[in-house]
Structure 1
């Protein structure tokens, strides 16, 4: 991770002393002057499982900065043929298209694990981007990281077996949740990984047999994170290192 002198803003511009009430890494590390543009409009909300945050091809109405839980960006070829493109947790936000100058989402985004988030109206968020000389450049760092995360997802889906892909996915979830366990169903995992449900069941059993996880009904417990990273075989780590360089430590 680089020190603060290598970031876009200077130390004087980047006073973040008032940001400590946030768990979201972007709000936590955002310059106070930029946060002041957003803060009066931020509202804390609870988000239930499968809550839709963005709909493919539709205008973005609201931007979510995750404080806990997980969101999934999911691409669909046609009804019933879909797979996860990327994960969003307390390191990130929805609404990347707004940062890049568009007003609508390319893919669906919905809650994968029950979450809390700070939300802001998309119009007010866009107004803040236009008002601040620094906010967009800071958030583009996150967008760059997310695109890199998605590129490694594509690479792992194309070149890795399901056990190794699942290992990467579990470590990425572990980065974003408190504790070492989280609730997830085999059906939901099959969508996230773009495979059939029986394949997920076998992959979980394989990892459990190696002592890396414990899989209960609707719950996975991480037992050996280091060995899961080793199984991910290079598909985990490089995007996360870029996040650390561009924004700060992921977890």
Structure 2
């Protein structure tokens, strides 16, 4: 990729990392399109690249030994795929793939691992990001165990809203059912309730956020702790205004 100013990057991690750390990566950065279903991390396969998403939305999906799947996390312009590399794990169970098409910057794994191995500041920065992803996973487990489907749905919509531009979220009922681990009909019923409260408007293949505040009120304590921690440890709000 032609050398680009750090301020022209739309991925929050690459915009926030120190200039010295950015310089270690910039020469090997490559901008790429990320279509729907594009695989960022394959189950049990060591990735060739770290993907820093600039637009679109990736799903981190866990799959059981008998084939049951559920989404356990999101990654968008606030983050990057393949961060198990930071924990000295070359390959991991589960997949990460694009649920909403977009674009991003990829960096070869070897370049990235050399950068974090040779500089403590770079390593510590990306480990702080790993901390936020672990916290997101923990609160997804908390939400699934202790909160209603309506509260969980509001949380997931807010998480999508954090990572996508504008108020129109190009997500399907099938995607939402995967995120929540419930039947599509259950998602449809809960969306009708949110529409009745004038929080969202759902059309085929699109969900429009009408009132973020109403979604926050519905989600309650189900949403917010990982988002505040992201801002605390990385220095920027997760949702870019």
For residue 80 of structure 1, report the CA deviation from its aligned partner: 4.8
C-alpha RMSD of the superposition = 1.2
Partner of 1:196: 183
Matched residues in 2 for 1:124 and 1:79: separation?
A: 36
1:168 and 1:188 map into 2 onto residues whose CA distance is 14
> Structure 1: how far apart are the matches of 2:231 and 2:181?
28
Q: How many Å separate the matches in 2 of 1:47 and 1:175?
A: 19
Equivalent residue for 1:236, pick from 218, 223, 235: 223
Structure 1 gaps of 5+ residues are 1-17
Please, which of 148, 155, 160 is the counterpart of residue 161 of structure 1? 148
Secondary structure at the residue paired with 2:64?
strand
Distance in 1 separating the partners of 2:31 and 2:202:
32
Cα distance in structure 1, aligned partners of 2:93 and 2:22: 27
1:207 equivalent in structure 2: 194
> Partner residue of 2:32?
45
| Structure 1 residue aligned with 2:122 | 135
Pairing partner for 2:55 from 55, 61, 68: 68
Structure 1 position 56, deviation (Å): 2.0
Q: Give distance in 2, aligned partners of 1:212 and 1:78.
A: 38
What do residues 93-147 of structure 1 show as CA deviations (whole Å, max 9, x unaligned)?
A: 0111111111112321000111111001112211212222211110111100111
Q: Is this contact kept in 1: 2:40–2:82, CA < 8 A?
A: no
Once the two structures are TM-superposed, the CA of residue 78 in structure 1 deviates from its matched residue by 4.1
Q: CA deviation at 1:190?
A: 1.0
The residue that corresponds to 1:14 in the other structure is none
Q: Structure 1 length as normaliser, TM-score? A: 0.90
| Cα distance between partner residues in 2 of 1:80 and 1:56 | 12
Give the corresponding residue for 2:237. Answer: 249
Q: For the residues of structure 1 that align with 2:74 and 2:171, how far apart are their CA atoms?
A: 14
Moved over 2 A (4+): none
- Aligned mate of 1:222, from 180, 184, 209: 209
- Which structure 2 segments of 5+ residues have no match? none
Please give the alpha-carbon distance, in whole angstroms, between the structure 2 residues aligned to 1:130 and 1:210.
50
Secondary structure of the structure 2 residue equivalent to 1:234: helix
Q: In 2, are the aligned partners of 1:60 and 1:105 still within 8 Å (CA)?
A: no
Normalised TM-score (structure 2): 0.94
Return the alpha-carbon distance in structure 1 between the equivalents of residues 9 and 69 of structure 2: 33
- For 1:94 and 1:69, how far apart are their aligned partners in 2? 13
